[in-house]
Structure 1
Amino acid sequence: MDICATYERKLQDQQISPPLAAILSLSELCAASNAGTMFELVKALNEGADSLRRNSSNPISLNAGCELFIAFVTLFPHDSVPSASFSDLKMELVKQGQSYVRQALTYRTKIAELAVDFITDDSVILTHSYSRVVMETLLLAHQRSKRISVFVTEARPRGLGVKTADALTAAGIPCTVILDSAVAYAMEKVDFVIVGSEAVVESGGLINAIGSLNIAIIAKAANKPFYALAESYKFHRLFPLSQYDLPSHNPRILSFQTPVEQDRTVEKPSSSASPNTRSVSGALSSITQEQIAKNNPDVDYTRPDLISLVFSDVGSLTPSGESPACFRSLFFFLTRLFL
């Protein structure tokens, strides 16, 4: 089977996030596999996960789902299936994976119920980019008649802040889109920051849309709480020490181009181009937003000391107090949630 095509098909469902799409894709691979032993099955699943990682520009979030499912398969007790047939065992694994995804779709509601108690009347909230769990939390606060106003960052290069603002406006929540570079300007009016996550790592830090680190640093300087919302299936066994330790980093990001390379990649403007396109040297320039985005990262890493709380379906966590040993215990517990 084409696991990458299966993964893309699963993502067509707006409720399915990359980790859950990865779990469903590996479940289907499990059913289609000709493996006759557990060793062969785990090998096939690892190869499928590698294929998904290679074909994704940002594999961090989907990799969290792959690791969780493969760990579950490895730890699955064989004696829980009465039949001695390995085919029956594989089908049981598929059923468990699909059952977990159905259960995981309720996690956002659990997180929203936990986080909404921290939202008081007349709160001014800053959020970044677009997050399903953040949207659910804000909409729940609005449904409970809490008066809130929301600043939403533009979140370039993907510009997903506009999607958040459209959804909030449609729900009747006052909001305004601000420039990413205007976060420090707006922070004085903000009561707290609330963001989603691509992954929560072993250090207790957060991987999220690029710009999250900037916001966290500014919030810390302004003594404003910085809250992160993360479903437990986004807990990832990574321990980055810097931005350059992230799996999504590659030599292309923030690379310096030589003048020869720039001549090849920059499109020459027409003779009628606006004077504003002229560079300091007087030469015409037409560097596009797409070209800028290709040379910049999609996500960044926020240190745990900058995060006030992480709200998850397994409770509210204080990132700066977490240890790798505690994280590994939690990861093991999550693999048991399949059962």
Structure 2
Amino acid sequence: MWWRSASFILDKQQTEGVSKQPETLSISPPVDESSMADTFQNPNPKISAYYQSRASHTAVVTSDWLAQAQAAVGFPTDEQLLSEADVRDSESGKPFCVIDEFNNWRKQPDLAEAVAAIRSLAAVIRSSQATTMMELEIELKKASDSLKSWDTTSISLTAGCDLFMRYVTRTSALEYEDFKSAKSRLIERAEKFGEISCKARRIIAMLSQDFIFDGCTILVHGFSRVVMEVLRLAAQNKKLFRVFCTEGRPDRTGLRLSNELAKLDVPVKLLIDSAVAYTMDEVDMVLVGADGVVESGGIINMMGTYQIALVAHSMNKPMYVAAESYKFARLYPLDQKDMAPALRPIDFGVPIPSKVEVEKSARDYTPPQYLTLLFTDLGVLSPSVESQFPFLCSFIQNASCSPALISSWLLVSMVVSTIDTVDCALSCSDATKELSSLL
């Protein structure tokens, strides 16, 4: 087994010879052993047992553990490294930048940011010249941190990177004796995870079709790719419905959605944001996307979602949310101020006096009691069962399994929903272990 320890890398460096080079993430090419001896000195001869015990109990290395391991082998810490994860392309020899790769994937209009990040991290593995699992994990960790720092307010981007790191690296198949086999397995899992993420939107669209009936009126807020896919599939199925789109100021995302629906010959009406309550009596359901689904069962989405949910709840209109499973985040906001501020420029069309303060927040938090159902690629979930969501978010973010296995977990959790929370968690954990052993 590849021991994830500082001493393992230190011993390998002392036998093969490497030099310290802060400009890259990978260990540098071999140099003279005489100059290397003073550079790499293990400050603690007992460090090997410590790291081996940590490796036995920790499936994925933590940030502090990585920093200690890097310091132990003379490798620069995260604070000393550059802000971008650069590795060398083995074929062309040109520097590979994960941010550039991410921006290339983002140019595809139908690709979400989280999926673009997943594709970029998979490219990091393919382009890496690391010779040990420790080196490769350091490169992946740095690349993931670079993507998350690209937009610190994006919940789906952060959740997608974290989920990728756990899905790819937490596998017993890495217990190969040669690194090439382990790396091939990592690339295979990375590509599989990217394919699963791309198919999530189509799965959600199919699951939600039973809730869209002929003659219904749907209110949507903001532009969501998964909501657009749901409505597109309904139109392709020859369902007769009409859509009310809020304008979505200041980005005017509702204009974009209304243009897309008009191309599909779907009857659509554009509303100003303040006309939601005025037109709610004509609406049969509300359908929105989500930037993130939190542990409480609530959602974080574009500004205005919360007030639409309040109006829909007061008028007994169902509020449906369509969100991919990679948007499930380990967050538990208690109010609107608990979220990281996501600011955006606002143009009112006229000059604003300098003494006037402008609210620039771009999103709000909608509690679960105002939501009816969540359409996900794992199934149709009810946010009212709040006790399931901390386990579900934790399970998705920590499991190295497929969506089929997660769906099995959901099935078990519904079967044992009549017993208390602790028994439910234990039953689901036992079932997960049995299912994992069969895969």
SS in 1 for 2:333: coil
2:275 is matched with which residue: 182, 185, 192? 182
**What amino acid maps onto 1:33 in structure 2?**
S
Structure 1 gap ranges (5+):
255-265, 267-275, 278-284
Q: Separation in 1 of the partners of 2:325 and 2:383?
A: 14
1:93 equivalent in alignment to 2:186: yes
Q: CA RMSD in A?
A: 2.7
2:320 is matched with which residue: 227, 230, 248? 227
Q: Separation in 1 of the partners of 2:138 and 2:319?
A: 40
SS in 2 for 1:311: strand
Matches within 5 A, 1:309-324: 309-323=373-387, 324=390
Q: Separation in 2 of the partners of 1:187 and 1:156?
A: 19
Structure 1 residue 79: deviation in Å?
4.7
Structure 1 residue 204: deviation in Å?
1.1
Matches within 5 A, 1:38-187: 38-56=133-151, 58-79=153-174, 84-187=177-280
1:286 is matched with which residue: 351, 362, 373? 351
1:20 equivalent in alignment to 2:111: no
Q: Name the % identity.
A: 38
Q: Separation in 2 of the partners of 1:80 and 1:292?
A: 58
**What amino acid maps onto 1:140 in structure 2?**
L
1:305–1:150 Cα change, 3 Å: same
The answer to whether the 8 A contact 1:15-1:105 is kept is no
1:329–1:322 Cα change, 3 Å: farther
1:202 equivalent in alignment to 2:295: yes
**What amino acid maps onto 1:108 in structure 2?**
R
Matching residue of 1:328 = 394
Q: Separation in 2 of the partners of 1:42 and 1:79?
A: 12
Matching residue of 1:8 = 103
The answer to whether the 8 A contact 1:42-1:73 is kept is no
**What amino acid maps onto 1:222 in structure 2?**
M
SS in 2 for 1:310: strand
1:212 equivalent in alignment to 2:305: yes
Structure 1 residue 34: deviation in Å?
4.2
Matching residue of 1:263 = none
Q: Separation in 2 of the partners of 1:207 and 1:325?
A: 19
**What amino acid maps onto 2:110 in structure 1?**
Q
SS in 1 for 2:245: strand
**What amino acid maps onto 1:54 in structure 2?**
S
Q: Could you give the per-residue CA deviations for residues 195-218 of structure 1, whole angstroms, max 9, x where no partner exists?
A: 111111111111111211121111
Aligned residues: 304
1:91–1:246 Cα change, 3 Å: farther
Structure 1 residue 57: deviation in Å?
5.8
The answer to whether the 8 A contact 1:20-1:65 is kept is yes
Q: Could you give the per-residue CA deviations for residues 101-121 of structure 1, whole angstroms, max 9, x where no partner exists?
A: 223222222211111111111
Q: Separation in 1 of the partners of 2:337 and 2:134?
A: 34
The answer to whether the 8 A contact 1:108-1:136 is kept is yes
Matching residue of 1:269 = none
Matching residue of 1:337 = 402
Matching residue of 2:285 = 192
Q: Could you give the per-residue CA deviations for residues 162-185 of structure 1, whole angstroms, max 9, x where no partner exists?
A: 111001111010001111111111
**What amino acid maps onto 1:8 in structure 2?**
N
Q: Separation in 2 of the partners of 1:163 and 1:57?
A: 25
Q: Separation in 1 of the partners of 2:339 and 2:130?
A: 33
SS in 2 for 1:92: helix
Matching residue of 2:366 = 302
Q: TM-score, normalised by structure 1?
A: 0.81
Structure 2 gap ranges (5+):
1-95, 404-438
Q: Separation in 2 of the partners of 1:209 and 1:40?
A: 39
SS in 1 for 2:252: coil
Q: Separation in 2 of the partners of 1:292 and 1:13?
A: 37
Greater C-alpha radius of gyration? 2
1:142–1:49 Cα change, 3 Å: same
1:292–1:11 Cα change, 3 Å: farther
Q: Separation in 1 of the partners of 2:330 and 2:130?
A: 27
